A and B are shown apart, each in its own frame.
Chain A
Amino acid sequence: MTKRTMTLNLTDDEMRVLVELSERKDLSKTSVLRQALRLYQTVDARLVRGEKLLFENETTKEKSELMLL
C-alpha cells in the first residue's frame, strides 16, 4: 500500500492527548490519527444518510445524542 507523508502541526494540548491515547490504546501516534480519520469518515457517512450518533450509559440505559457539525 502506497503511503504519503505529511507534516502535522499540533498544539501542546493536542500532542498531550495524542500521546495519552496512543499509550492507552497501545497504538503508535500515526495509528491513532489514522484510526481517528476512519472513525470520523464512518460517522460522517452515517450522519449524511440521516442517522444519529447516540451514546448509551450501560447502567442507566440513558441515551444522549452527540451533535456533530
Chain B
Amino acid sequence: MSTEVSIISLLDVKNSSSVQAELRDSIGEVQLIDWHTQWQPQLFQVLNQLKQQGVPLSQWPQSRNWDWPQKTAQVAGLLAFKCFCVTCDGVTQGLMRVDLNKTAQVPEQKGRPLVYVEYLEVAPWNRPDLGQPIRFKGVGTALMVAAVALSEYEGFKGRIGLHSLPQSEDFYRINCKMIDLGLDANYQYLRYFEMTHEQAHAFLKE
C-alpha cells in the first residue's frame, strides 16, 4: 500500500520560526527505529530525572509504557485501523493510531460512525509536560487535524472521539475544544471527549 504524504508546518520553538514537516498516513519501519533509538532513550532519561527528584509515579508521563512496534503490529492489514506519523528534521515527531469501527456518544450524533483516536503521542522532546524546553510545537494538533480529515474522507463528517489520559485532558478540552462527556466507567475511568461535525469544521478553520 502506498503512503500519502502531506506537507505541514510546525513551530520550531527555539528559533520561533515555522518549519516544514511531513504528515504520513502510515507508521513504517523508519518511525519504529526512531521510537527505539531516539524516543525511548530520551524518555528513559526523563524518567531517571523524575526518580532522582522524587516525583511520585502518578505524575510520570502516563504514556510511558506505550509500545509502538506492538501497537502497529497488532493492526497490520486491518482496514478498520489506520496509523499516522509526523516527521520533521529527518526524525519522527509524533505517532497516532485510529479505529474506524467506533460510534459517537454525544446525543445529537449518537450511533453514527466516527474516527476514534486510540493512541496519540508526540516525541518526548515535544512534550510540554516533561519540564524541559520543547523543540517543535503543533505536532499533536497536526495529528488531530489528520484524524478530522480522515473522518471527512470516510464520510463521517469530521466526527472524532477519544479517551484521554489525565495529563492530556486540557489539550483536548482547551486546544481542540472537544466536548467532555465525563469519566467512562467502562474504559479505565478515562475521560471521554468527542468532536461534532460543526466543531470539526471550526477546528479545521483555526
Residues of B within 8 A of A2 (CB): 2
The prevalent SS among residues of B at the interface is: loop
Q: Are B101 and A25 in touch, CB under 8 angstroms?
A: no
B137 within 8 A of A: no
Majority secondary structure, A binding face: helix
Interface residues of A (CB under 8 A from B): 1-2, 24-28, 30-31, 34-35, 37-39, 41-42, 45
Q: Tell me, yes or no, whether B28 is within 8 Å of chain A by CB.
A: no
B41 at interface (Cβ–Cβ under 8 A)?
no
The reply on B192 being an interface residue by CB < 8 A is no
Contacts of A45 in B (CB 8 A): 78
- Is B4 among interface residues, defined by CB-CB distance under 8 A? yes
- Which B residues fall within an 8 A CB radius of A? 2, 4, 78-80, 100-101, 109, 111-113, 153-157
Nearest chain A residue, comparing its CB with the CB of B25? A1
Pairwise interchain contact A37-B79, C-beta atoms closer than 8 A: yes
- Chain A to chain B: the 7 pairs with minimum beta-carbon distance, closest first: A31-B155, A38-B80, A38-B79, A42-B80, A26-B112, A27-B155, A28-B155
Would B80 and A27 count as touching, CB distance under 8 A?
no
B113 engages A27 (CB within 8 Å) = yes
B100, A35: Cβ atoms under 8 Å?
Answer: yes
- A41 and B157 contact, Cβ closer than 8 Å, known pairs A25-B113, A27-B113, A35-B100: no
A24 contacts B101, C-beta separation under 8 Å = no
